[in-house]
Structure 1
């Protein structure tokens, strides 16, 4: 009696749910990246921010009102004279 050739059947039932899960994950990843870019006014998301970057972001915030904008002018605006990073203290006199 000859042996019948056994076929390996691929189960098709889990393929559609896996495809849906992959598509939803891809769309969510794309959406989060677009939202982060929108939130930073078209610039990519910041990563590996150190102390210097935080200080520059604070400076930009005081100069322009937003941490994502920068100024290239030589002189600061007039409002920057009273907009200091130092906390105001009252002397003990």
Structure 2
């Protein structure tokens, strides 16, 4: 066995580690390195954060209720009416009379009459 200086500054432990690496060469080829999984972890984390943020934002926007889907013209008119009655986008009221000023907050569009 060579001494420390003849070995290029490496000790006997490096020879043992090198021998261990060559014996387990076939086993290491089938393993996935840990460093290769880090980018996938970052990507999955960012997708989860974006999806959770989108869900929280839409829930807060709709006063804690699920988003309305497949709205037709009647649904849009009822949403506008509820907004004028309560002042909130998704709130509804069961009062028999409208609040003061409701009759003045109509959303009717003015049509121009053409003279022929």
- What is the TM-score normalised by the length of structure 1? 0.73
Are residues 1:81 and 2:97 paired? no
**Higher relative contact order, chain-length normalized (CA < 8 Å, sep 6+):** 1
Q: CA RMSD in A?
A: 2.3
Q: Which runs of 5 or more structure 1 residues have no equivalent in the other structure?
A: 1-5
Unaligned runs of 5+ in 2: 1-25
**Residue-by-residue CA offset, 1:17-47 (whole Å, 9 max, x unaligned):** 1011101110111111111111222112222
TM-score where L is the length of structure 2: 0.61
Q: Report the structure, 1 or 2, having the larger helix content.
A: 2
Large movers: runs of 4+ above 6 Å: none
Alignment CA distance shift 1:10-1:71 (3 Å): same
